[in-house]
Amino acid sequence: MTSIHDAMRAAGLAPAKDIELLEGKLVRYRVAGDKGGSRNGWAVRYSDAGSFGSWKTGESHTWHAQSSTPQTPAERTALQQRVKAMQQLRADEQAAVHALARKRAATLWKLARPANNSHPYLQRKRVPAIGIRQLNKMLVIPARDTVGVLHTLQFISEDGSKRFLSGGRITGCYFGIGKVFDSLLITEGLATASTLYLATGRAVAVCFSCSNMAPVARALRVKFPRLRLTLCADNDFMTAGNPGVTHARAAAQDVDGFLAVPQFAEVAP
Q: Is 208 buried (19+), middle (13-18) or exposed (0-12) by CB count in 10 A?
A: buried
The domains located in the chain, with CATH, are: 4-103 (no CATH), 115-260 (3.40.50)
**pLDDT score at 202:** 96
pLDDT digits (tens, 9 = 90+) for 12-52: 999 999 998 888 889 999 999 888 888 889 999 888 888 99
pLDDT digits (tens, 9 = 90+) for 160-190: 999 999 889 999 999 999 999 999 999 999 9
pTM of the model: 0.79
**What are the distances in angstroms from CA 105 to CA 14, 40, 82?**
28, 17, 34
Under DSSP, the state recorded for 268 is P
27-29 sheet: strands from edge to edge: 27-29, 41-45, 49-54, 60-64
Q: Is 111 buried (19+), middle (13-18) or exposed (0-12) by CB count in 10 A?
A: exposed
More confident residue, 98 or 57: 98
The chain-wide mean pLDDT, for the chain, equals 91
**Is there a contact between 41 and 9 (Cβ–Cβ < 8 Å)?**
no
Q: Is 48 buried (19+), middle (13-18) or exposed (0-12) by CB count in 10 A?
A: middle
**What are the distances in angstroms from CA 97 to CA 93, 122, 170, 252?**
6, 32, 13, 31
**pLDDT score at 269:** 47
